[in-house]
Amino acid sequence: MKLRASRLSVLFLCTSLLCTISLFALDHQPGADYRARRVALSAKLNGGIAVLFAATESEGPNEIHGFRQDNNFFYLTGWAEPGAAVVIAPAVKAEGATPARPYTEILFLPARDPAQEKWTGPKLGAEDPKALEVTGFDRVATLDQMHDLVRQIIPRPQAEIYTAIAHSPETTPSTLPMEWLKRTNSFPAYADYLDVNDKIAELRKTKDQGEIERIRQATDASIAAHRAAMKEMRPGLFEYQIAALMQYKFETAGCERPAYAPIVGSGFYSTVLHYSENSHEIHDGDLVVMDVAGEYAMYASDITRTLPANGHFTPRQREIYNVVLGAQQAAMQAVVAGKSTLDKTEPNSLYQVAYDYINTHGKDLHGEPLGKYFIHGVGHRVGLEVHDVGSGPLDRGDVFTVEPGVYIPEEKVGVRIEDIVMLDEKGKLVNLTAKLPHTPEEVEAAMRR
């Protein structure tokens, strides 16, 4: 009995320690990486300051999904708890009446609430002796100090304050900084409020090694989910059963949540791009489009495979599948770092490569080219968002998808093949999903029991 009690005590202690550490909620990526991003942002502020707020806790219907940090705030801080704020101010030289200012960065945390922590678990407070070490900041303060501290570092005589300005009239976490700043009477009337989102997007476009590793982890877990679905797929199952299996697999492999709402569309619904009901029975002879992936440490993956429900493609299904596969391979082979783009309208667009291939390799039942059935873009960048920020030519450090598709409702045939790729430091294309079955023969082999 004593031995059992001792084991229980040790288990309780370990669990408590794990909970404490997890609730401090700093990402495992080295703090120096986040500091480097803050310094890089400060260089884009033209002497102004940046004020960003963390997301707020979800309430009501959205609470079931759990809290998820604002992407820009996480990118700059690695802090995953709600209710925080950060101020970043570049160093400025003395000029006229304006005194010199050293580079300054302050993380503001909510004051600890012992009563609330009985519900949520322990939180890190600004007064904690390990606050600087844990957060990687030179200074950590409480939110109620923010008013006075920000006043001290506002540039004068002209104040430029960069914050997240929402492009929607709706009240969202991203609108909170503007509301807070405008309500705060400590800010002088001459302050100009500018949008920081584009400046952060410029930084987020190129992924560092830590980010690439997180995307790779999300991708590997998602590959395991797709392989499990290939083994389990058969007529008589419902789409939601496949979706549930896949989510179970990538979450047991370390992902926190789906990177987006899973899409498992069979038969006619394989031709519906953003079908998400996942409510229909899978029938013999159906094609099943599975656009499903997980999110690891805030970073997304994005993978699509198309399976024959019974494990064997019909000749027509194989024909369409090979057209889409050929288009994807042509687009991948056309990638040139610093030149290729994902934009349909650009002269070096990978979309045009994929479209031209589809339009010249195959016909519909009426003898018409298949190009008109390729109705979406060829890909998008991936990172903290599944459709991540960034534009312009693809270059070293960019992570993106290549995902042509053909959707013919009349035939109940929809095929999409989506892989996630990156350009390495030498400009070479690396397929992060290369381990996942790709050709019709590989897919059929993976589905054999």
What average pLDDT does the segment 203-215 reach?
A: 97
Weakest mean pLDDT among 170-184, 348-362, 407-421, 423-437: 170-184
- pLDDT (0 to 100) of residue 108: 95
Distances (CA, A) of 270 to 236, 252, 264, 353: 16, 27, 8, 24
Token representation of residue 172: 């969202």
Is 26-204's fold the same as 206-447's? no
The answer, yes or no, to whether residue 349 has pLDDT greater than 60, is: yes
3-class SS string, 221-248 = HHHHHHHHHHHHCCCCCEHHHHHHHHHH
CATH fold group of domain 206-447: Creatine Amidinohydrolase (3.90.230)
What average pLDDT does the segment 385-409 reach?
A: 98
The answer, yes or no, to whether residue 15 has pLDDT greater than 60, is: no
- pLDDT (0 to 100) of residue 337: 98
Q: Where residue 7 falls among pLDDT bands split at 50, 70, 90? A: very low
The owner of tokens 């596969």 is: 325
Strands 263-266 and 257-258: unpaired
Domain ranges in the chain?
26-204, 206-447
Q: How far apart are the first and last CA of the chain?
A: 47
The answer, yes or no, to whether residue 122 has pLDDT greater than 80, is: yes
- pLDDT (0 to 100) of residue 27: 55
- pLDDT (0 to 100) of residue 34: 96
- pLDDT (0 to 100) of residue 188: 57
The answer, yes or no, to whether residue 60 has pLDDT greater than 50, is: no
CA angle, corner 62, sides to 60 and 68, nearest 5?
125
What average pLDDT does the segment 193-198 reach?
A: 92
**Tens-digit pLDDT profile for residues 300-324:** 999 999 999 999 999 999 999 999 9
Q: Where residue 91 falls among pLDDT bands split at 50, 70, 90? A: confident
The Cα–Cα gap between 405 and 384 comes to 24
**Tens-digit pLDDT profile for residues 244-285:** 999 999 999 999 999 999 999 999 999 999 999 999 999 999
The Cα–Cα gap between 333 and 388 comes to 23
Token representation of residue 162: 């960069």
- pLDDT (0 to 100) of residue 125: 87
What average pLDDT does the segment 191-213 reach?
A: 94
Query: How high is the mean pLDDT of the chain?
Result: 88
Residue 128 DSSP code? S
Q: Where residue 187 falls among pLDDT bands split at 50, 70, 90? A: low
What average pLDDT does the segment 361-367 reach?
A: 97
pLDDT over 90 percentage in the chain: 69
- pLDDT (0 to 100) of residue 68: 92
What would be the CATH architecture of the domain defined by 26-204? Answer: 3-Layer(aba) Sandwich (3.40)
The owner of tokens 């877990």 is: 221
Q: Where residue 112 falls among pLDDT bands split at 50, 70, 90? A: confident
CA-nearest of 49, 162, 149 to 108 is 149
Cis peptide before 440 (omega within 30 of 0): no
- pLDDT (0 to 100) of residue 156: 62
Token representation of residue 139: 């200074």
Amino acid at 120: T
| Three-class SS state of 31 | helix
Token representation of residue 232: 């389990």
What average pLDDT does the segment 10-19 reach?
A: 34
Weakest mean pLDDT among 34-38, 80-84, 363-367: 80-84
Strand partners, 161: 49, 193
8 Å CB contact between 384 and 208: no
The owner of tokens 């926190």 is: 256
Strand partners, 195: 163
The answer, yes or no, to whether residue 62 has pLDDT greater than 60, is: no
What average pLDDT does the segment 19-45 reach?
A: 73
Q: Which residues contact 252 (CB under 8 A, 6 or more apart)?
A: none
- pLDDT (0 to 100) of residue 101: 78
- pLDDT (0 to 100) of residue 377: 97
Amino acid at 382: V
For every residue of 139-205, DSSP letters joined together read -EEEGGGHHHHHHHH--SSS-EEEE---SSSS--GGGHHHHHHHH-TTS-TTPEEEE-HHHHHHHHH
The secondary element (H helix, E strand) that includes residue 52 is strand 49-53
The Cα–Cα gap between 449 and 441 comes to 15
